[in-house]
Structure 1
Amino acid sequence: MSQRLPTNLITGFLGAGKTTAIRHLMSLKPADETWAIIVNEFGQVGVDEMAFDTQGDINITPLSGGCVCCQLGGELTRSLNQLLEQQAFDRLIIEPTGMGHPAGILDTLRKPFFSDRLDLRATICLIDPRQLLDPQVTQSETFRDQINLADVLVANKMDKADAAAEAAFADLCSDLFPPKQAILTTEQGRIDPALLDYVSAGQLRAQFPDAHQHADETTHHTADAGHVHDHDHDHAHAHAHAHAHENAPLPCKPVRQINSGLERYSCGWVFHPDDIFPFDELEAFISSLQGIERLKGAFRLGYPWVFFNRVGDEISFDAISYRRDSRVEIIARAPLDWDAIETRLIEIATLGVNSPYRNI
């Protein structure tokens, strides 16, 4: 290990493929290295960490319930301190939520205490070039500053981009100043690990550094508790975890957590480990949901477990090694009928009550 811990920020708007890219990088990690990964999620229940297959050489630190750039800034500082106290890592990767503004995180990493211990290297931003055709995305100050503050810009999902999206990305790249250290296109998050060791440019500046500094309220609802709490974002993380422990899920009776802010609404459910979800019914229901911007879920199908990933209307799934409980998080631009969604998820779980895998 070097004296300072090599550190990378991997950013990108919702659905750009950050988690997939990090999984790819992990698959190419030198066998003798141990990495620490901080995974930040806007939703309360925390699902992204279930997508990572850890073998003892990866330390995953989940931070759920807001953005580490602002609402969970204190949580980020505490997590960094804890990781540095362990002194057992060869690289640190931070994955903010898709709504996360990089400026606050970079400011934290550059503070004297951390800059003496962390070797801040390239900030890598992934974008789905099709997002450049969506005015709701391109008008987002956070989206624009994710690009502005990136040392390396990666257009992911090029296999799904049409000529208009490709042209929009080319136009974007022709107008960037200062120039990026690298601009590339890829599919399935396949990026060269050598990009991690590009040196942080340092002179990059946010165009909208105060994009997240506004008054927001967060709402949490634990279904078993039967009541609603409203608190500022600063209290979201600790509050959500406290109620998750107080209201453990029962078979076919999940715990629900709701979060709102940054013009987004999320709802997540944690199911009992014994709940089993028949794949066909689960896939059909996830496909039928309307108004969803993002969905991630880890589900027990029986003996196998699967990770569902939905971006807009596109759905993918992969087998995972995670084996603790089933959980799902939905993000939307407007509140959905969370009660109806929960009712249907419970109905699907009820279908698995007589599964021969239930007690395995």
Structure 2
Amino acid sequence: MKNQVPTNIITGFLGVGKTTAILNLLKEKPQHENWAVLVNEFGEVGIDGAMMAEGGAMIKEVPGGCMCCTAGVPMSVGINALLRQKPDRLIIEPTGLGHPKQVIKTLTSEQYENYIDLRATIALVDPRNLSDERHLENNNFNDQLASAEVIIGNKVDECTAQDIDVFNDWVTDQQPAKIFHKLVKNGQLPLELLDLERREASAEAKGHAHHHDHDHSDLEPVFELPPEKPYIRRENQGQGYFSCGWIVGEEHKFNFDELFSLFSDLKAERVKAVVNTDKGCFAFNVANRVVSVNQMSLEAMNHELKLSIHN
């Protein structure tokens, strides 16, 4: 007997607002349904799972690079753990530096044919990035958009009229045509997008191979703070990017104003943090040097405070 869980991949490059979009979807989910989210991050210190902890979903994190490395073992372990809890829906958020084709291939394999009902893949894009050569020349950026049936232009409130024209021209030129596209702000995705059917095509079997140049061999798993150290520091690198993350104990309180100023001044590609401050526990999210802040419950953080910087 088949018991397939409706499943969506929500992909997109660094800083496009995937986590915010998923949090918004969790707020709109039917109250009687239990959803699960598999979160993958490039950094060795996972932040997105902590940010989603109060969203009312079952969360599983796969930090440390693309989760389809090592023949898909990290991804399969995470999916299996969530499926055992019998969710009504599964959302998968690959890292912003990851490639969705291998994720799609795994989810449509014989291993999951009785358990996963893969719906349309949704890709978020910042329309401003469609005029940025750094993004247009990045294979993962292009392949994320090519693998998706649905394209969402996020952060429209921060875009110029020219950015919007570029987005509309780009969507119009796509072959095969996308089944849905929309410009939104603050990651406000229509809930009904999750039920759109994926296009039956072999696109995931085409294109260049999926390569990685990051190495986890010298990194140890992070489980808890050693008693002799007040923090854990972990690094990762690959695809021209470098990530550094820290985990500190909840007893450490930081000055909120000083942190906000620090994050505003950093020239990193991406900054995420869940930190205990003199004003309470907050999630900091920095993209394009714009700092977003949301207050969190310290109890939901499992008594660990985290910071991750991508550059």
The verdict on a shared fold, with TM-score over 0.5 as the criterion, is: yes
CA shift for structure 1 position 53: 4.2
- Structure label with greater radius of gyration: 1
Read off the aligned partner of 1:26 and give its amino acid letter. L
> Which residues of 2 match residues 109-258 of structure 1 at below 5 A?
109-203=107-201, 205-206=203-204, 208-210=207-209, 212-214=210-212, 216-218=213-215, 231=218, 239-241=220-222, 244-245=223-224, 247=226, 250=229, 253-258=230-235
CA–CA distance in 2 between the matches of 1:21 and 1:288?
25
Structure 2 counterpart SS, 1:240: coil
Question: Which of residues 267, 276, 280 in structure 1 aligns to 2:253?
Answer: 276
Q: CA deviation at 1:171?
A: 1.7
Which residue matches 2:270?
Answer: 294
SS at structure 2 position matched to 1:245: coil
Residue 287 of structure 2 is matched in structure 1 by: 311
Mapped to 2, the partners of 1:90 and 1:116 lie a distance apart of 15
Q: How far apart, in 2, do the equivalents of 1:198 and 1:204 lie?
A: 18
CA RMSD of aligned residues (A): 1.9
Alpha-carbon contact 1:68-1:75 (below 8 Å) kept: yes
Identity, % of aligned positions = 36
Counterpart residue number, 1:357? none
TM-score (norm 1): 0.80
Residue identity matched to 1:49 = G
**Structure 1: gaps spanning 5 or more residues:** 220-229, 333-360
The structure 1 residue matched to 2:296, chosen from 306, 314, 320, is 320
Aligned to 1:4: 4
Match of 1:226 in 2: none
Aligned partners of 2:283 and 2:30: how far apart in 1?
26
SS at match of 1:170: helix
Q: Where does 1:19-168 land on structure 2 (aligned, <5 Å)?
A: 19-54=19-54, 57-70=56-69, 73-86=72-85, 88-168=86-166
How far off its partner does 1:248 sit?
A: 5.2
Report the number of matched residues: 306
Residue type of the partner of 2:239?
A: L
Unaligned residue ranges in structure 2 (runs of 5+):
none
Question: Normalized against structure 2, the TM-score is what?
Answer: 0.93
Q: 1:16, 1:155 → 2: CA distance?
A: 9
Matched position secondary structure for 2:193: helix
Amino acid of the structure 2 residue aligned with 1:299: V
The structure 1 segments of at least 4 consecutive aligned residues displaced by more than 6 Å after TM superposition are none
The answer to whether the Cα contact below 8 Å between 1:16 and 1:128 also exists between their aligned partners in 2 is yes
Higher RCO (CA < 8 A, seq sep 6+): 2
* Separation in structure 2 between the aligned mates of residue 194 and residue 32 of structure 1, nearest angstrom: 17
